[in-house]
Structure 1
Amino acid sequence: MKNIAFVFPGQGAQYVGMGKEFVENFNIANDIFERASDSLGYDMKELCFEGPEDELKKTENTQPAILTVSIAAYEVLIKHGYKPKALAGLSLGEFSALVASNVMSFEEAVKVVRKRGRYMQQEVPLGVGTMAAFIGLDREKVIEACNKASQFGVVEPANFNSPIQTVISGEIKAVEKAVQIGKELGAKKAKVLNVSAPFHSSMLKGAGEKLSKELDKIEFKEFTYPIVANVTAEYYNSVSQVSKLLVKQVSNSVLWEDSVKRMIKDGIDTFVEVGPGKALSGFIKRISRNVQILNVEDMESLEKTLKALE
């Protein structure tokens, strides 16, 4: 019997056409899209299936769209009888995990992540903050690059994704300086990303405070499945932590590599990335060669995954 973890993608996984095949083939997926449209007051199918891409890329649209596709894919998997031993999600994906574990309703989550996207985008004016990715530089040296560049402004580690990839975040000048220093310290590759805000940095603290007020309105239920939290790389031990850790996550580093290692330590031997894209599958491959990695984003990947799980 496999010990399966379902993991859910974050922002950046979106693409026009995502979720379409599930809606065409499963009533349960269609229902999720209908519920998203009813909750948000716009047509989620149109946004995900037709775009345009510029509209889908707006943070306040991206977040509910990815959540919708992820939960539609999750419901299809559950319908086939597969249940996880653990859940986790990268950044926004943590909300998908909380819906999958029945801690919050899909309707509550889709509304709150739209606001989360809006708050994150509005917190820092365009042209002030950015992010950069380092490939092939260990985390201590990434932290050293940030520390050395911090005299030029705010720059902090944002995502510890895998042993070879770390993302930093902060003010443009400081991030660019950290990239230069990272290259000097031996990074195989270091480049500024095409993003509109310095996500997971202290510059977004105000966005977290606004999100906190929205989360206060939600009555969280007990966990159906254990979830590993981004900011601690440990399992949530009570619902009283949910709001606090989701708020903290907005302006703190995402410990993805550590989260995956935690699940492996607890016996997880199969990871299924549930939702658009395969970014998490790539990270997990770098973290461990001893686990099975699958994904579910369309009919082809679903069939492959169901076959592999038999």
Structure 2
Amino acid sequence: MSYAFTFPGQGSQTVGMGQELASQFPEARAVFAEVDEALGQSLSKIIWEGSQEELTLTANAQPALMAVSLATIAVLKAKGLDLATTAKFVAGHSLGEYSALAAAGTFTIADTARLLRTRGEAMQAAVPVGEGAMAALLGLDFDAAMQVAEEAAQGEICQAANDNGGGQVVVSGHKAAVERACELAKAKGARRAVMLPVSAPFHCTLMQPAAEKMAEALANVQMQDPCVPLVANVLAAPITSADDIRTRLVEQVTGTVRWRESVSYMVGAGASTLVEVGAGKVLSGMVRRIEKSAATAALNSAEDIDAFVEAVNAAS
């Protein structure tokens, strides 16, 4: 049995996530405390007691999802499961790439929290509210969605932001261009084209100011080579050097999240089970649509963790 560990992105956040782990395991509590201290605020209070609206703010959701993922990793470690010897690859969807890198030792938890707060604020500030938008095109393959985005641009920005597999591609850019893409997609046979309730047009060139901020932030943080290869969003291929990772994280702000290709790469390279670490089961659903032969496991609770550790031990 060979495992790849995957880490969710924005959209998986729910109020109360991670609270059960924090109540049962001091190792999980320590992760949330470290994130709170690094940010100089009680983010854990927002995660467990705040409103969904407050938690969904980009600057909160990004470090919050990372905290839950890393608390899960801390519990796995406490139960004797070591990422370096268990995982063949790590990968994360958009902000989840930072969680994956923290789990693999490239960043400290505190540095990851600060980087994600900076990233969230920079992405929010890059485009005035109302000027940008994102939409999910359902029922078109990636090449067809790319063509739709290109035709819809008409001198504005419209790009494929996320290739999520299973005929789901998210486009991002100027609001009018994204609206045109929805109409074009329907005309080209898309089952649905849905405008997404997001606060900014992520993963397109409108995010260039945020990419510049992240280049500066990443230049000033200490990084180690990961203990497990990272399958990078912008490459859909593994990288192992801290310098290369720094470059790819900057590119990721404006580049396409190549999730479909990343999943296919990991499965093709021998990862038979893709383990979703943290909040929700969004990535597990995507994996099943992309690679039907792959097994999935979502670690959302202490019960999930126990079952996974038992399965790993039984297979070894």
Per the TM superposition, whether the score is higher than 0.5 is yes
Deviation at 1:152, TM superposition (A): 5.9
What are the residue-to-residue correspondences of 1:231-270 with 2, within 5 Å?
A: 231-270=234-273
* Contact 2:139–2:167 (CA under 8 A) maintained in structure 1: yes
Percent of paired sites with the same residue: 38
1:73–1:275 CA contact under 8 A, matched in 2 = yes
- Specify the code of the residue in structure 1 equivalent to 2:115: V
Unaligned runs of 5+ in 1: none
String of CA shifts for 1:112-154, please: whole Å, max 9, x gaps.
1001000000000000001000111111110111111111621
Task: Note the 1:5-84 alignment, pairs <5 A.
Answer: 5-82=4-81, 83-84=86-87
Q: Name the aligned partner's letter for residue 41 of structure 1.
A: G
Amino acid at match of 2:17: M
In the alignment, is the contact (CA less than 8 A) between 1:35 and 1:107 conserved in 2? yes
Letter in 1 for 2:253: V
How far apart, CA to CA, are the structure 1 residues paired with 2:224 and 2:44? 29
Find the partner of 1:287 among 290, 294, 301.
Answer: 290
Query: In the alignment, what sits opposite 1:301?
Result: 304
Query: Where do 1:1-310 residues align within 5 Å?
Result: 2-82=1-81, 83-151=86-154, 153-309=156-312, 310=314
2:137 alignment partner, SS class:
strand
SS at match of 1:13: coil
> 1:246-267: per-residue Cα shift (whole Å, max 9, x none)?
0100001010011111111110
Which whole-Å CA distance do the structure 2 matches of 1:94 and 1:295 have between them? 17
Structure 2 unaligned blocks of 5 or more: none
Q: Whole-Å Cα distance in 2 between the matches of residues 100 and 167 of structure 1?
A: 27
Aligned residue-pair number: 309
Answer yes or no: is the 8 Å Cα contact 1:123–1:207 preserved in 2.
Answer: yes
Relative to the length of structure 1, the TM-score reads 0.97
Paired residue type of 2:56: K
Give SS of 1:268's match.
coil
- Asked whether the 8 Å contact 1:295–1:305 carries over to 2, the reply is no
Partner SS, residue 133 of structure 1: strand
Q: Contact conserved, 2:43 with 2:60, CA < 8 A, in 1?
A: no
Q: 1:307: Cα distance to partner?
A: 4.6
Question: C-alpha distance in 2, partners of 1:31/1:236?
Answer: 29
* Counterpart residue identity of residue 261, structure 2: D
CA distance in 2, matches of 1:219, 1:44: 23
Q: Aligned partner of 2:269: which letter?
A: D
Letter in 1 for 2:69: S
Amino acid at match of 1:42: Q
